[in-house]
Amino acid sequence: MAQNGKLANDLVQKLERDIVTGVLKPGDKLDERSLSERFGVSRTPVREALQTLAGSGLVATMPRRGTIVASITVGELIEMFEVMAELEAMCARLAARRMPRADIENLIALAGECDALQEHSDADAYYEANVSFHEAIYAGCRNSFLERQTKTVRNRLAPYRRLQLHRPGRVKTSNSEHEDILNAISTGDADTAGRLMRQHVAVQGEALNDLLAIVPRGYLEPLAG
Amino acid sequence: MAQNGKLANDLVQKLERDIVTGVLKPGDKLDERSLSERFGVSRTPVREALQTLAGSGLVATMPRRGTIVASITVGELIEMFEVMAELEAMCARLAARRMPRADIENLIALAGECDALQEHSDADAYYEANVSFHEAIYAGCRNSFLERQTKTVRNRLAPYRRLQLHRPGRVKTSNSEHEDILNAISTGDADTAGRLMRQHVAVQGEALNDLLAIVPRGYLEPLAG
DNA sequence: AACCGTTAACTGGTATACCAGATCACATAT
DNA sequence: ATATGTGATCTGGTATACCAGTTAACGGTT
């Protein structure tokens, strides 16, 4: 989409990965000069990369005050999860109607992978498998615009979503929900698939309190900025 | 969100307006040097503006080949309308549950404005009123992230959406649909509001053929790019 | 007349130099 | 000791110069 120069695009990829995987945390400063010498390029492509990331919301730039990895308010967190749940629900609903048999077989395999990894309590490995499962459903909706849109919002939420897995018992629950979603998609029950996915992704009630309780300092903006 | 320098931001606003209102049409070239001298700034802020616009998808940049106002394929058009319908449906659904009485009064007034303008067959005036009506519903969902997201997609579709109004009879139908949506929101019937809004926005079946038939040359990419 | 290759002009991509606002430390006054 | 004001410094914002790929025009050849 955003087709900048090669150097800038490489930087976008690297920085995006670092932010999504948590190497760079919300609030971390992104100094243009430091980045430019660290990557051996001039400030120009660095600036382009930062602007692209600002466009997708992953970083925030204040004029004359620099760029930081985006941190959001509690309100925004709730808003974004609300939208995320709906986008994923739409993916699941469409996937139930459009996903070819062969892709469903693959989805079954991915669900099995999640299931296998749940035992080992290796949070990172499980997280990756979980991402693959969800992305397979995005792809299954056969709407690449929706797929991209969904991934963008998910990336934006990644730093916070990752935290959920550290809640005891969450992985087990999550896995059984996968099973039900998979069944609905497999049988072509679009409404059920959408409803289950919405609930699977939504963060509300107790779950919201739990999440907020384990968000580290700095991940959320103070009430007065 | 994307907070660049002042000059660049001004350019983003101007160019975005020109694209959304149709002054700049899909396929039009956006030459960096021409723009820079036309606006009396250097190429740097021009480039920043173009990159921001590329990020939201309004323009497309090919390395070493320049920037043009984005044109999309028929497939993408269908995909984007599908997502648009769902986003607006979500707005309507949430608005039915959350919109304060005072704002609903305002929404009623806006619907009346559309109704009044429908007679005069002034397509542009009606279009503006129509936008106001829809935006009031976006605001009514009380989720500013969803509101922004929805506006972004709408802007992206604006060049094509505007064409729909030139279909004879469309304005009248559209207006009566507004009435029904308004009623659903006013009575707090979330499901109905969402369903009606989805149908109101969706472009499918005959309506899709009609739209495609009046899209000017150049608005859609040829099958082989 | 049609085809192909060379080349010149155009346009973006990158680097660098310069300017201006924001921050922070230090000194001074209360 | 604290508060405030001033200036050095840090960091972005803007302009410009230079480099490299792409395109298209022109001329020569067949």
Q: What is the tens place of the pLDDT at every residue in B159-190?
A: 998 888 777 788 888 999 999 999 999 999 99
Distances (CA, A) of A202 to A22, A84, A112, A124: 21, 8, 23, 21
- Predicted local distance difference test score (pLDDT) of residue A195: 98
Residue burial A89-102, b: 16+ Cβ < 10 Å; e: rest:
bbbbbbbbeebeee
CATH number at residue B31: 1.10.10.10
pLDDT in tens, B39-96: 999 999 999 999 999 999 999 999 888 899 999 999 999 999 999 999 999 999 999 9
Is the same domain home to A19 and A115?
A: no
Domain boundary among A53, A69, A85: A69
Is the same domain home to B30 and B127?
A: no
Work out how many domains chain A is built from and give that number: 2
Domain boundary among A46, A69, A92: A69
CATH number at residue A187: 1.20.120.530
| DSSP 8-class letter at B60 | E
Q: Distance from B93 to chain A by nearest Cα, in Å?
A: 12
In a domain, A135, yes or no: yes
Interface of A with B (CB under 8 A): 1-6, 47-48, 51-52, 54-57, 60-63, 76, 79-80, 82-83, 86, 90, 143-146, 149, 153
Token pair listed for B13: 């606003």
Domain encompassing residue B167:
74-214
In a domain, B219, yes or no: no
- Predicted local distance difference test score (pLDDT) of residue A225: 34
Q: Is residue B15 over pLDDT 80?
A: yes
Question: CB of A214 within 8 A of CB of A206?
Answer: no
Is the same domain home to A79 and A50?
A: no
Is the same domain home to B99 and B206?
A: yes
In a domain, B82, yes or no: yes
Smallest Cβ–Cβ distance between B79 and the set A61, A82, A145 belongs to: A145
Domain boundary among B39, B69, B99: B69
Query: Are the Cβ atoms of A55 and B145 closer than 8 angstroms?
Result: no
Is the same domain home to A172 and A131?
A: yes
**Which chain B residues touch A55 with a CB distance below 8 Å?**
1-2, 51-52, 55-56
Is the same domain home to A180 and A110?
A: yes
Residue B4 pLDDT class (50, 70, 90 cuts): confident
Is the same domain home to B117 and B170?
A: yes
Question: CB of B116 within 8 A of CB of B108?
Answer: no
In a domain, A219, yes or no: no
Is the same domain home to B62 and B155?
A: no
For residue B57, the chain A residue with the least C-alpha distance is A1
How far apart, in whole angstroms, are the C-alpha atoms of residue A142 and residue A224? 43
Bridge partners (DSSP) of residue A220 are: A72
- A132 burial level (CB within 10 Å; 0-12, 13-18, 19+): middle
Q: Distance from A169 to chain B by nearest Cα, in Å?
A: 30
